[in-house]
A and B are shown apart, each in its own frame.
Chain A
Amino acid sequence: MQAINKYGFYGQIILLVVLVMLPFIITSSYLNHIMTLILLWSFVATAWAYMARFGMVSLGHGIFLGIGAYFPTMMFNYWSFTPWIGIWVGVAIAVATAAVLGYACFRFGLLGDYFALVTLAVAEVSALTIMAFRETTGGSLGYTLRATGKISDMQFSDKRVYYFIALILLIGAVYIWRRIDRSPIRLALTAIEESEIAAASLGVSVIRYKMMITLLSAGLTALGGALYAQYVTYVSPDTIAGVGVSLSVCFKAILGGMFTVLGPFVGSTIIVALEEYVRISMGASFLGLSQIIFGISLLIMIIFLPKGIMGSMSLAISRKLNRID
Chain B
Amino acid sequence: MFEQILMALINGILLGGVLALLAFGLNLIFGVVKIIHMAYGQFVMLGFYFIYTFHTSWHIPLLLAMALGIAAMGLIGILTQLLVINPLLNAPRLNQLLALASLIIVVENLAQVIWGADYRGIPLSMPIIQFGEIFIRSSFLIAFIGAIVTLWFLYLFLNRTYLGLGIRAVAQDLEMAKGMGINPKVIYYITLMTGGALSGLVAAFFVPIYTVHPHFGASFTLMAFVIVVFGGMGNLMGGFISAFIIGIVTSVTAVLSSKEVADIVALLMFIGMMMVRPEGLLGTES
Q: Which residues of A contact B117 (CB under 8 A)?
A: 287
Nearest Cβ in chain A — how far from B120, in angstroms?
16
Nearest Cβ in chain B — how far from A302, in angstroms?
5
Task: Assess whether B95 is interfacial by the CB under 8 Å rule.
Answer: yes
Q: Which residue of A lies closest to B278 (CB)?
A: A114
Tell me the chain A residues, 107-127 only, with Cβ under 8 Å from chain B: 108, 110, 112-114, 116-118, 120-122, 124-125
Name B's interface SS: helix
Q: Which residues of B contact A45 (CB under 8 A)?
A: none
Nearest Cβ in chain A — how far from B154, in angstroms?
23
Tell me the chain B residues, 269-285 only, with Cβ under 8 Å from chain A: 270-271, 274-276, 278
Nearest Cβ in chain A — how far from B160, in angstroms?
31
Choose from A121, A251, A299, A302 the contact partner of B106 (Cβ within 8 Å): A299
Q: How many residues on the A side are at the interface (Cβ–Cβ under 8 A)?
A: 41
Choose from B92, B99, B263 the contact partner of A303 (Cβ within 8 Å): B99
Asked if residues A302 and B95 are in contact (CB atoms below 8 Å), the reply is yes
Asked if residues A287 and B95 are in contact (CB atoms below 8 Å), the reply is no
Q: Which residues of B contact A254 (CB under 8 A)?
A: 94-95, 98
Task: Assess whether A294 is interfacial by the CB under 8 Å rule.
Answer: yes
Asked if residues B113 and A292 are in contact (CB atoms below 8 Å), the reply is yes
Q: In the complex, what distance in Å separates the CA atom of A183 from the CA atom of B81?
A: 43
Given contacts A125-B267, A299-B84, are A132 and B102 in contact (CB under 8 A)? no
Q: In the complex, what distance in Å separates the CA atom of A142 from the CA atom of B276?
A: 35
Task: Assess whether A8 is interfacial by the CB under 8 Å rule.
Answer: no
Asked if residues B98 and A247 are in contact (CB atoms below 8 Å), the reply is yes
Q: Which residues of A contact B263 (CB under 8 A)?
A: 124, 128
Q: Which residue of A lies closest to B274 (CB)?
A: A118
Asked if residues A116 and B94 are in contact (CB atoms below 8 Å), the reply is yes
Q: In the complex, what distance in Å separates the CA atom of A251 from the CA atom of B95?
A: 9
Given known contacts A128-B267, A286-B113, what 8 new A-B pairs fall within 8 Å (CB)? Answer: A108-B278, A113-B36, A116-B93, A117-B225, A121-B226, A128-B260, A128-B263, A132-B264
Task: List 15 interface pairs A-B (beta carbons < 8 Å), by A numbering.
Answer: A59-B97, A121-B222, A122-B267, A125-B267, A128-B267, A132-B260, A251-B98, A287-B117, A289-B113, A295-B103, A298-B102, A302-B91, A302-B99, A303-B84, A306-B95
- Interface set of A (CB-CB < 8 Å, partner B): 52, 57, 59, 104-105, 108, 110, 112-114, 116-118, 120-122, 124-125, 128-129, 131-132, 243, 247, 250-251, 254, 286-289, 291-292, 294-296, 298-299, 302-303, 306
